[in-house]
Amino acid sequence: MADSSFDIVSKVDRQEVDNALNQAVKEIGQRYDFKDVGASIAWSGETGVDIKANSEERAKAVLDVFQEKLIKRGISLKSLEAGEPKASGKEFRLAATIKEGIAQDDAKKIAKMIRDEGPKGVQAQIQGDQLRVTSKKRDDLQDVIALLKGKELTVALQFTNYR
């Protein structure tokens, strides 16, 4: 019998992020506490989000609105990396990025965790920005998924290609 396997990936549904951003724009335009503060949120490039406001607190409030919309759309906040508001002339700018893929050092940590704490006979291979986990027994793969879901990792993980 062939080995069973699955892939560990960190992907974000771009359309859902776009929907969350559009909802945040709409809410910022309608809320009274954002009137006349120059608050805005928009895409900057492929995975960047640019937040502007006339005070540091307002910029953070816009980020909170965006995070709230991401959560409602089922997107993990682990995939959002936001910096601190920086003064730029009369306004404050906050840059955030949407992270996709598992970084090499995170992939090594996850592979080591599977080797150390996972069932015997389970192998994890790093393939670019994802991991492939293989085993002879499907139950062992289920145990690995349960193990990783129970850990507090810095990356949002999804499990795909289960065969």
At 85-128, the pLDDT tens digits run 999 888 999 999 999 889 899 999 999 999 999 888 899 999 98
- Spell out the domains of the chain, with CATH numbers in brackets: 4-11+102-160 (3.30.70.860), 14-98 (3.30.70.990)
Place of tokens 């893929």: 101
At 33-61, the pLDDT tens digits run 888 888 999 999 888 999 999 999 999 99
Burial class (CB in 10 A: 0-12, 13-18, 19+), 36: exposed
How many angstroms separate the CA atoms of 140 and 19, rounded? 37
Is residue 139 within 8 Å of 162, Cβ to Cβ? no
What's the pLDDT at 89? 86
At residue 2 the predicted structure's pLDDT band, cuts being 50, 70 and 90, is low
What's the pLDDT at 3? 84
What is the pTM assigned to this prediction?
0.85
